[in-house]
């Protein structure tokens, strides 16, 4: 392994943390609690915010109890789904469809609508061949913002659970959602999208251009160059942990991710907000060390996962050595397993992206995970199965991790006979019941769904690769949908009525089956008193607690998924080594 | 349920307002600024030659003539390097189809350059993620220099100099991987042969 393989990931983590720190402080001011709290920003932006409330008939001062908060969120997301659904069905008759693309099939439209509203952004379709510019803008780009903002809103409500006492409400969904869009997502997206255009990401409303090939052949004399408003969507799909690409191959497409710099910026954007929210959490609960502990646990798991993925991909496929190919990394080539990878990214950037996109529930890809080595592909699959709490989705990653922290203090409480409390709130039966739902619902969707898919002919028909790898394709798809990631072992032909419906249901369960219990926890905690720390309180900012938290996450994940992983990637790895 | 109706009206209005803001104003603003500041990039980095578009600097093209450098194998359908429908092969590492495909590509490279016994760089016989990869590794370019020079009747040193000129280092010395843009290199080759002084880049 060359020094470059270490330098780039180290630089990545350094820049990430350096940017997350100020952004975390800024977002703490955006989500500050209290009736007089005004977010930071110019006066015109605050005026725009107030105007939006007035036009929508929202009373921003209303403090919602958690069921009302949840209802507002669900209504908002449901209408978003319907809008995306309708746009897809009607795109043939709507403007901004220069390629004259037909309406999308019912099952595919359902899958895509659910996918984008739940922040999964699983793509059963090929972007450039299926969706009009109008559908991409009014449907997908909008939901990229709103699903991310919904996740941040739920986190804001949960944080109020800790900061408030004897409170009936957890905040106002409309205010949280609007502020997430206006003060965080839109400004960051504007800056990022222009930086991406400077690197060569397309941004226009032109029809596809046609080029005359330099070496024409009998098969083709011309090349269609895809076009469209890509940069604006790419920026928010990276920042909002959405991940649904403008083009079929996502960020592997040279017009979506043209240079190593665009790649670095897009990778940073995957983890930027999830990492920064840890600092926001620390600021708002009044103890930065608490956010630091959660971030430390996330970073530790991330680094180990990255090393595993990078090592496996650089070691490559023994097949290539048997065929006499040059696979050693050097200054002249990336080497390793280059099947399904782009030259400009090589092995290091592809492994780094795969780890980041699966740690966060982003799901964008700059290399084809299906062609990763068995262990290299196991890493993103396992990170997804951990419940998307290693950084995780925007908002959703941290609220998931806080739930794991509740479980960790509960387990510690049982072991040492201390009253479980976290950040001054007693953790009691109701919170633990809700935490159990959060931890059980996504794996249920994943494992039951995968079992159904391999049991039915309709499920097995979609496999591209034979043997254990085919099972991995199904397991990855369900893991991705059930945890709202969105990446794929893309050989699976998932644009069939069976998979569109199955994965759609898994995405709904994985999103709202977690969000609603988390809001219930928020409501229950906000109603409690604060207990001052005593000799019996387990400190939750120490390295010991970080280890306990990592242990809890890994143990729950391992107990749930090791048997399934053994049947897929592990078997395939042994087969690959045994092949001659 | 009156409560759910109460949520529905602001939900509908808020969705409409947010759609205007994030789905119309935002992409239009980005498009306007991008077209003003970076028109070449925003429109796909097209390359023109003699007044017609011959490709994009960011999108690879299929080459099979021994006098051209060849790019990565492409898995797009129905033809390779179909930039209207990007796609990877998605073949798993133990899929026999992958082994067969790589073997066939090795055979084609050997047939085009029988005297070349150097090990083939892995990126030259594996498909890219997008099927549109504009680059090959410098090692993959070096592997082809002798063949291209022979087919064109050019001096190998002159071809190697052109390769060096179209080799990009890691961005800022750190990011990504070194690479050679195949389309730009081949266009330069065509110019070099037609031009008055083919050897001087």
The per-residue DSSP string of A355-404 comes to HHHHHTT----SS-GGGS-HHHHHHHHHHHHTTSTTTTSTTHHHHHHHHH
Taking CA–CA distances from B179, the nearest residue in chain A reads A344
Contact list, A186 vs chain B (CB under 8 Å):
21-22, 26
| Residue corresponding to tokens 């403090």 | A63
Residue A145's SS3 state is: helix
Q: Are B64 and B105 in contact (CB under 8 A)?
A: no
Q: Do B26 and A141 touch (CB under 8 A)?
A: yes
A35/chain B closest Cα distance in angstroms: 21
Contact list, A371 vs chain B (CB under 8 Å):
88-93, 98
Name the DSSP letter for residue A360.
Answer: T
Could you read off the pLDDT of A13-32 as tens digits, one per residue?
999 999 999 999 999 999 99
Q: Do A223 and B82 touch (CB under 8 A)?
A: yes
Helix axes A429-455, A467-482, angle to 10 degrees: 140
Q: B interface mutation test: which of A54, A222, A342 has the most B CBs within 10 A?
A: A342
Higher local confidence (pLDDT), A302 or A247: A302
Per-residue pLDDT tens digits of chain B, which is 201 residues long? 455 566 789 999 999 999 999 999 999 999 999 999 999 999 999 999 988 999 999 999 999 999 999 999 999 989 999 998 899 999 999 999 999 999 999 999 999 999 999 999 999 999 999 999 999 999 999 999 999 999 999 999 999 999 999 999 999 989 999 999 999 999 999 998 754 433 333
Taking CA–CA distances from A577, the nearest residue in chain B reads B94
Residue B49's SS3 state is: strand
Contact list, A350 vs chain B (CB under 8 Å):
129
Average of per-residue pLDDT across A561-573:
96
Contact list, B3 vs chain A (CB under 8 Å):
68, 71
pLDDT band at A166 (very low <50, low <70, confident <90, very high): very high
Rg (CA), chain A: 23
Taking CA–CA distances from A573, the nearest residue in chain B reads B94
On the question of a cis peptide bond just before residue B78, with omega within 30 degrees of 0, the verdict is: yes
A140/chain B closest Cα distance in angstroms: 8
Q: What is the DSSP string of A189-232?
A: HHHHHHHHHHHT--B--PPPEEEE-SS--SS-SEEEE--SBHHH
| Residue corresponding to tokens 């409400």 | A169
Q: Please state the φ and ψ torsions of residue A485, each to the nearest 5 degrees.
A: -85, -65
Classify the phi-psi angles of A119: left when phi > 0, otherwise alpha if psi is within -120 to 50, otherwise beta.
left
Q: What's the pLDDT score for residue A334?
A: 93
Average of per-residue pLDDT across A233-256:
92
- The residue extents of the domains of chain A are 394-578
Q: Do A333 and B41 touch (CB under 8 A)?
A: no
Q: Is the pLDDT of residue A35 over 90?
A: no
Q: What's the pLDDT score for residue B198?
A: 38
- Please count the other Cβ atoms lying within 10 Å of the Cβ belonging to residue A178: 26
Contact list, B61 vs chain A (CB under 8 Å):
213-215, 223
d(CA A431, CA A272): 29
d(CA A542, CA B44): 51
Taking CA–CA distances from B104, the nearest residue in chain A reads A323
The tokens describing A212, both together, are 């005359």
Taking CA–CA distances from B175, the nearest residue in chain A reads A260
Contact list, B138 vs chain A (CB under 8 Å):
331-333
Q: B interface mutation test: which of A129, A134, A201, A214 has the most B CBs within 10 A?
A: A214
Facing A203 at nearest CB: one of B34, B60, B80:
B34
d(CA A277, CA A27): 7
Contact list, A330 vs chain B (CB under 8 Å):
139
Average of per-residue pLDDT across A533-561:
93
Of B10, B26, B39, nearest to A239 by C-alpha is B26
Query: What predicted TM-score, i.e. pTM, was given to this entire model?
Result: 0.95
d(CA B49, CA B55): 9
d(CA B201, CA B193): 11
Q: A interface mutation test: which of B20, B22, B138 has the most A CBs within 10 A?
A: B22
B173/chain A closest Cα distance in angstroms: 10
Could you read off the pLDDT of A346-389 as tens digits, one per residue?
999 999 999 999 999 999 999 999 999 999 999 999 999 999 99
Q: Are A262 and A201 in contact (CB under 8 A)?
A: yes
Q: What's the pLDDT score for residue A63?
A: 95
Diameter of chain A measured on Cα atoms:
81
Could you read off the pLDDT of A116-127 as tens digits, one per residue?
999 999 887 766
Facing A339 at nearest CB: one of B38, B60, B89:
B89
The tokens describing A203, both together, are 């941004």
Facing B55 at nearest CB: one of A141, A199, A214:
A214
Contact list, B4 vs chain A (CB under 8 Å):
71, 75
Q: Is the dihedral of CA A162, A164, A167, A169 positive or negative?
A: negative
The tokens describing A51, both together, are 């105007």
Could you read off the pLDDT of A170-190 as tens digits, one per residue?
999 999 999 999 999 999 999
Facing A249 at nearest CB: one of B84, B87, B93:
B87
Could you read off the pLDDT of A125-161 as tens digits, one per residue?
766 678 888 898 899 999 999 999 999 999 999 999 9
Model ipTM value = 0.94
Could you read off the pLDDT of A442-485 as tens digits, one per residue?
999 999 999 999 999 999 998 998 899 999 999 999 999 999 99
Instruction: Name the percent of chain A lying above pLDDT 70.
Output: 99
- Please count the other Cβ atoms lying within 10 Å of the Cβ belonging to residue A372: 30
d(CA A403, CA A425): 13
Facing B15 at nearest CB: one of A76, A213, A366:
A76
Q: Do A249 and B125 touch (CB under 8 A)?
A: no
Q: Are A295 and A308 in contact (CB under 8 A)?
A: no
| Residue corresponding to tokens 């306990």 | A548
Half-sphere exposure for A106 (CA within 13 Å, toward CB) = 2
d(CA A268, CA A6): 17
Of B127, B33, B81, nearest to A231 by C-alpha is B33
Could you read off the pLDDT of B109-162 as tens digits, one per residue?
999 999 999 999 999 999 999 999 999 999 999 999 999 999 999 999 999 999
Could you read off the pLDDT of A36-89 as tens digits, one per residue?
678 888 999 999 999 999 999 999 999 999 999 999 999 999 999 999 999 999
Contact list, A197 vs chain B (CB under 8 Å):
30, 34, 37-38, 41-42
**Residue B168, exposed/middle/buried by CB under 10 A (0-12, 13-18, 19+)?**
middle
The tokens describing A505, both together, are 């249901």
Facing B122 at nearest CB: one of A126, A137, A327:
A327
Q: A interface mutation test: which of B122, B137, B152, B180 has the most A CBs within 10 A?
A: B122
């Amino acid at each position: 392994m060359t020094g470059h393989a270490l330098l780039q990931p180290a630089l990545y983590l350094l820049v990430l943390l350096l940017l997350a720190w100020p952004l975390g402080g800024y977002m703490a001011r955006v989500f500050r609690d209290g009736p007089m709290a005004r977010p930071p920003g110019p006066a015109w932006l605050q005026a725009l915010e107030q105007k939006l409330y007035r036009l929508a008939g929202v009373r921003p001062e209303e403090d919602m109890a958690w069921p009302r908060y949840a209802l507002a969120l669900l209504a908002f997301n449901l209408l978003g789904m319907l809008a995306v659904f309708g746009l897809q069905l009607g795109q043939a008759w709507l403007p901004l469809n220069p390629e004259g693309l037909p309406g999308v099939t019912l099952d595919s439209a359902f899958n895509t609508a659910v996918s984008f509203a739940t922040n999964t952004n699983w793509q059963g379709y090929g972007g450039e061949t299926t969706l009009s510019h109008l559908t991409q803008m009014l449907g997908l780009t909008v939901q990229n913002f709103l699903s991310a903002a919904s996740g941040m809103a739920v986190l804001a409500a949960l944080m109020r659970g800790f900061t408030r006492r004897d409170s009936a409400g957890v905040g106002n969904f409309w205010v949280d959602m609007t502020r997430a869009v206006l003060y965080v997502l839109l400004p960051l997206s504007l800056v990022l999208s222009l930086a991406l255009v400077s690197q060569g990401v397309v941004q226009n409303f032109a029809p596809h251009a046609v080029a005359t090939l330099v070496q024409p052949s009998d098969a083709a004399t011309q090349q269609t160059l895809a076009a469209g408003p890509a940069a604006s969507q790419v920026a928010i799909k990276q920042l909002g942990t959405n991940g649904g690409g403008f083009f079929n191959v996502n960020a592997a497409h040279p017009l979506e991710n043209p240079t190593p710099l665009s790649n670095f910026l897009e990778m940073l954007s995957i983890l930027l907000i999830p990492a920064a929210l840890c600092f926001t959490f620390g600021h708002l609960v009044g103890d930065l060390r608490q956010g630091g502990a959660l971030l430390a646990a996330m970073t530790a798991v991330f680094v180990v996962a990255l090393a595993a993925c990078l090592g496996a991909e650089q070691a490559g496929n023994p097949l290539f050595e048997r065929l006499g190919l040059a696979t050693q990394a050097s200054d002249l080539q990336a080497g390793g397993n280059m099947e399904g990878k782009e030259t400009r990214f090589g092995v290091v950037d592809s492994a780094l992206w795969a780890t980041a996109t699966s740690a966060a529930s982003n799901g964008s890809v700059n290399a084809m995970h299906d062609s990763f080595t068995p262990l290299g592909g196991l890493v993103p699959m396992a990170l997804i199965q951990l419940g998307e709490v290693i950084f995780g989705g925007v908002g959703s990653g941290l609220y998931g991790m806080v739930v794991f922290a509740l479980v960790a203090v509960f387990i510690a409480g049982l072991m040492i006979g201390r009253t479980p409390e976290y950040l001054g709130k007693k953790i009691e039966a109701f919170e633990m019941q809700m935490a159990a739902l959060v931890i059980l619902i996504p794996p249920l969707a994943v494992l039951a769904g995968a079992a159904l898919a391999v049991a039915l002919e309709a499920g097995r028909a979609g496999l591209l690769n034979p043997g254990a790898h085919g099972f991995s394709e199904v397991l990855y798809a369900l893991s991705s949908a059930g945890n709202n990631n969105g990446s794929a072992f893309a050989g699976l032909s998932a644009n069939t009525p069976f998979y569109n419906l199955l994965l759609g249901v898994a995405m709904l369960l994985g999103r709202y089956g977690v969000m609603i219990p988390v809001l219930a926890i928020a409501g229950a905690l906000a109603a409690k008193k604060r207990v001052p720390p005593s000799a019996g309180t387990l400190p939750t900012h120490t390295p010991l607690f970080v280890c306990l938290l990592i242990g809890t996450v890994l143990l729950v994940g391992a107990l749930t998924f090791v048997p399934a992983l053994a049947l897929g990637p592990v078997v395939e790895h042994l087969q690959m080594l045994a092949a001659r | 349920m009156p409560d759910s109706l109460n949520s529905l009206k602001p939900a509908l209005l808020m969705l409409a307002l947010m759609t205007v803001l994030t789905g119309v104003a935002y992409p239009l603003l980005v498009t306007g600024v991008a077209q003003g500041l970076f028109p070449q990039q925003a429109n796909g980095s097209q390359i023109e030659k003699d007044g017609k578009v011959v490709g994009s600097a960011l999108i690879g093209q299929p080459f099979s003539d021994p006098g051209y450098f060849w790019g990565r194998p492409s898995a797009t359908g129905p033809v390779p390097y179909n930039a209207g429908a990007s796609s990877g092969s998605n073949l798993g590492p133990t899929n026999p189809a992958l082994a067969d495909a790589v073997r066939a590509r090795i055979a084609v490279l050997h047939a085009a350059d029988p005297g070349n016994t150097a090990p083939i760089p892995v990126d030259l016989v594996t498909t890219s993620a997008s099927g549109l990869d504009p680059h090959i590794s410098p090692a993959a370019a070096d592997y082809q220099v002798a063949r291209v020079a022979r087919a064109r009747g050019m001096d190998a040193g002159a071809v190697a100099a052109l390769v060096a000129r179209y080799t990009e280092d890691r961005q800022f010395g750190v990011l990504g991987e070194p690479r050679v843009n195949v389309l730009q290199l081949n266009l330069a080759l065509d110019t070099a042969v037609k031009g008055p002084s083919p050897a001087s880049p």
